[in-house]
């Protein structure tokens, strides 16, 4: 029950943070989002979770919270099954397997984040194997991707 509550709180924080608009940054493109996912998967395979939370996550605290209940990632980078927009973010919808063989679907939300070194692409849902998904509502097509507003939800296990 505590783990589910923590994930729901994390989901709420992700939603609030994702609504912050960054009009001065260019739109997140698919190539940038996929490169960040590749870096994330490499760090996860290496077991370098602290570096993952420091260099990939928009919020190291949310990243660490998701790690507490996510289990371990599988050895393969997850498949991208769809792409959509959520505000200024690009969301890669993923499907893959955890190390224990259980399947997951999740959303990898990428947006511009202010860092000490300037703006950088970061993920608001970096622990992709956690199963966190964004519930999309009010979607419409723009530039080959769906633009949606929505909220994050806890994974169902």
pLDDT of residue 143: 53
Q: How far apart are CA 95 and CA 137, in angstroms?
A: 20
pLDDT greater at residue 122 or residue 135: 122
Q: Over the chain, what is the mean pLDDT?
A: 80
Report residue 25's pLDDT band, with 50, 70 and 90 as the boundaries. Answer: confident
pLDDT of residue 87: 87
- 117-130 per-position pLDDT tens digit: 889 999 999 999 99
- Torsion over CA of 104, 142, 22 and 57, rounded to 10 degrees? 20
Identify the bridge partners of residue 147 per DSSP, sorted by sequence position: 85, 140
Share of the chain above pLDDT 70, in %: 71
Q: How far apart are CA 58 and CA 92, in angstroms?
A: 16
Residue for token digits 């608009």?
21
pLDDT of residue 116: 87
Q: Is 81 helix (H, G, I), strand (E, B) or coil?
A: strand
What is the CATH code of the structural domain delimited by 2-153?
A: 3.10.450
Q: How far apart are CA 123 and CA 108, in angstroms?
A: 7
Stretch 117-145: mean pLDDT, rounded?
77
Q: How far apart are CA 52 and CA 8, in angstroms?
A: 22
- 28-78 per-position pLDDT tens digit: 999 999 999 999 999 999 999 999 999 999 999 999 999 999 999 999 999
Stretch 125-139: mean pLDDT, rounded?
80
């Amino acid at each position: 029950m505590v783990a589910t509550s923590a994930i729901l709180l994390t989901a709420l924080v992700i939603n609030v943070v994702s609504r912050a608009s960054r009009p001065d940054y260019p739109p997140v493109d698919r190539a940038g989002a996929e490169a960040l996912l590749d870096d994330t998967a490499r760090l996860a395979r290496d077991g370098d979770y602290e570096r993952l939370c420091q260099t990939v996550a928009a919020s190291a605290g949310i990243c660490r919270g998701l790690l507490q209940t996510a289990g371990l990632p599988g050895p393969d980078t997850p498949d991208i099954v769809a792409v959509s927009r959520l505000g200024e973010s690009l969301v890669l919808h993923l499907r893959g397997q955890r190390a224990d063989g259980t399947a997951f679907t999740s959303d990898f939300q990428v947006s511009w984040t202010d860092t000490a070194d300037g703006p950088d692409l970061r993920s608001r849902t970096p622990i992709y194997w956690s199963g966190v998904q964004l519930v999309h509502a009010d979607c419409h097509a723009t530039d080959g991707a769906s633009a949606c507003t929505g909220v994050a939800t806890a994974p169902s296990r």
